[in-house]
Amino acid sequence: MASGQRTQEGAAPADAKTAAAKATTTGFVPPDARLRARAVGTLMNLDDGLQAAFDPAAFTPIAAPLADDWLAQHGESGQTFDQYVRGRPNRPTAARRTIYLVPVGPPGGPPIDVLADFARAHFQLPVRVLPAIDLAATGAKVRDRGSFRQILAPDLLEHLKTRLPPDGYALIGLTATDLYPEESWNFVFGMATLRERVGVYSTARYHPAFYGEEDHYPAPERWVMRRSLKVMAHEIGHMFGMEHCTYYECVMNGSNHLEETDRRPAHLCPVCLRKLHYAIGFDPDRRYRDLERFFRKNKLGPEADWVRGRAEAIEATAGRR
């Protein structure tokens, strides 16, 4: 990927002609077990705990996409672990290893302190919250959509580049205002740079009330929480140079719409977990235990049970009790 290249999630074209073109299927075929194993890379020289952490058998292979899913409409070949390493991705250093979160515009969505707690557990790095930025101070273009406003996401990214502290590895803006990537598109959930370590995502469309469907969702705030955690982990993952995953069900899978986001797990697959481990060097067992504590505290039981299972598998393999 070229320096400064941006990724975007869930973008929707504004006109019918563009939408029809986007609906053309790519013919994506899920990779077989041999290709998935090659994507993880050889595990022979790793210790028992790491071999257990990256064991492909413990994860779910990616399913064939539905007609309106990301991989049905975007041709992506995937990024193996070896390709990731050869690409010389950004990695934290002793002087630059803090992840910063910053609210942009009027408040909304989950409490930012909760999001920061999740980021600490997921990335195993220091996380700090910056004072909120007034939307007008960003200089970003805003357009009126009748009942709501939208911010031009690339403008926000340009502003956020000027806000990245010297000790910051990455900076992600969190906004409750809807985003759009360019004039010809309706919206975008989020956008991030692969090299410049800044990103932004919006929670505007996460609440069922945005679509008038709040009566169909039990505990809608929990839906907002799950969606926020997944998209934040995904966008910050891009800042570590990780491209969309095409091998397993993974938080780094591309997503075209909320239904697809909801189907995706909140965890990294073995390919992407190994990439993040290469970049940071954390203890996978401790990471899963930190995530379990977070999920239990925030009443996200299925996610807590899954990471607990992975921690127990690593501990059993490594002989730790």
Kindly give the confidence (pLDDT) of every residue in the chain, 321 residues in length, as a single tens digit, with 9 standing for 90 and above. 223 366 666 655 554 444 444 555 668 999 999 999 999 999 999 999 999 999 999 999 999 999 999 999 999 999 999 999 999 999 999 999 999 999 999 888 899 999 999 999 999 999 999 999 999 999 999 999 888 899 999 999 999 999 999 999 999 999 999 999 999 888 888 899 888 999 999 999 888 777 776 655 677 788 899 999 999 999 999 999 999 999 999 999 999 888 999 999 999 999 999 999 999 999 999 999 999 999 999 999 999 999 999 999 999 997 654
Q: Is 235 considered catalytic here?
A: yes
- Asked if the structure places residue 14 within a domain, the reply is yes
Domain of 210? 6-318
Q: Domain containing 77 — which CATH number?
A: 3.40.390.10
- For residue 187 the two structure tokens come to 């919206």
State how far the Cα of 86 lies from the Cα of 84, in Å rounded to an integer: 6
Of residues 76, 213, 214, 235, which has the active-site annotation?
235
- Asked if the structure places residue 1 within a domain, the reply is no
- Asked if the structure places residue 177 within a domain, the reply is yes
- pLDDT the model gives residue 217: 62
Tell how far CA 300 is from the center of its chain: 18
Crossing angle between the packed helical segments 112-123 and 284-297, to the nearest 10 degrees? 160
Tell how far CA 193 is from the center of its chain: 12
State how far the Cα of 13 lies from the Cα of 26, in Å rounded to an integer: 17
Total count of domains within the chain: 1
- Asked if the structure places residue 260 within a domain, the reply is yes
Sign of the Cα pseudo-torsion (176, 207, 244, 55, in order): positive
